[in-house]
Homo-oligomer: A and B are copies of this chain.
């Protein structure tokens, strides 16, 4: 009887075909964040029990664009960059679980399959999208610098419809790049049963966060954000009632697993 190996499917005798190698996963990239307030009831709708609204600023939302380069141990993906580069746009709220505040990604779009696989593992509800964000560059007139007056745009589309667009004008250094995505993540990993009507096959509440983190100076500024409706998306339901701010930061992250908080009914 053979044994198949691999961190993810497809699993084979060698494990080489796995859509994503085992963690730790390494990331280097740029984050553009817009934080705003929506009706807390809209956030509450996205929090399955036992999660509840965060006590402070419960309607705060972060929409984050990220332009990543990533790899696993050994870093061979870096020399075949089609396998290491991806962009994502994700929407984060906060919630409370057993008296502790967590961040939680409620919507996310990425542009590569290996990023989808990592998201399945980490509990990010990923879809494919087309994500673009202005890139800073030190030379020429076709790029902002990361500094006062730096002007950045970011867009998200999926299924041939634009879903979100933002503009951020940097103003000053900031102690952080926002607060909504600053906690450990509380995510559900969930998969229906293959048998119609049966209880879910997987139903976990898990937590994870960065194993290591380093970053450059965060910058804060003024932000505009537009969200657009679409037949299969509810992002625009998190209406932008009040902009909190816009942020830009370059970071390096290591992710290396998380913790099972509890299992739901199976």
The interface of chain A, by Cβ under 8 A from chain B, is 1-4, 7-14, 16-19, 22-23, 26-30, 44-50, 52, 68-71, 75-76, 78-85, 106-108, 112-113, 116, 120-123, 125-128, 130, 132-135, 137-144, 151-155, 157, 159-162, 165, 167, 188-196, 198, 201-202, 204, 206, 208, 214-216, 231-234, 250-254, 256-260
Q: Identify 6 new A-B residue pairs, CB closer than 8 A, beyond the known A113-B128, A196-B257.
A: A8-B192, A28-B140, A69-B142, A83-B159, A122-B194, A132-B160
Determine if B85 and A135 form an interchain contact, defined as CB atoms under 8 angstroms apart. yes
Bound together, the chains give a CA A19 to CA B215 distance in angstroms of 33
Q: Which residues of B contact A71 (CB under 8 A)?
A: 141-142
Looking at the complex, which one of B12, B70, B120 makes contact with A142 (CB distance below 8 Å)? B70
Bound together, the chains give a CA A70 to CA B134 distance in angstroms of 10
Determine if A3 and B259 form an interchain contact, defined as CB atoms under 8 angstroms apart. no
Q: Which residues of B contact A138 (CB under 8 A)?
A: 216, 250
Determine if A194 and B204 form an interchain contact, defined as CB atoms under 8 angstroms apart. yes
- Across the A-B interface, the 4 shortest Cβ-Cβ residue pairs: A140-B252, A79-B153, A10-B125, A28-B140
Determine if B196 and A256 form an interchain contact, defined as CB atoms under 8 angstroms apart. yes
Q: Which residues of B contact A165 (CB under 8 A)?
A: 80
Copies in the complex: 4
A190 nearest in chain B by CB position: B9
> Can you list 12 residue pairs at the A/B interface with Cβ under 8 Å?
A2-B45, A2-B48, A4-B46, A28-B141, A68-B142, A69-B135, A79-B151, A79-B152, A84-B134, A139-B252, A142-B252, A194-B208
Determine if B82 and A29 form an interchain contact, defined as CB atoms under 8 angstroms apart. no
Q: Which residues of B contact A82 (CB under 8 A)?
A: 130, 132, 155, 159-160
Q: A76-B231, A80-B231 are in contact. Are A137 and B69 (CB under 8 A)?
A: yes
Chain B proximity of A1: nearest CB distance (Å): 4
Q: A9-B190, A113-B128, A257-B194 are in contact. Are A81 and B251 (CB under 8 A)?
A: no
Q: Which residues of B contact A194 (CB under 8 A)?
A: 121-123, 189, 204, 206, 208, 257-260
Chain B proximity of A193: nearest CB distance (Å): 7
Bound together, the chains give a CA A106 to CA B6 distance in angstroms of 13
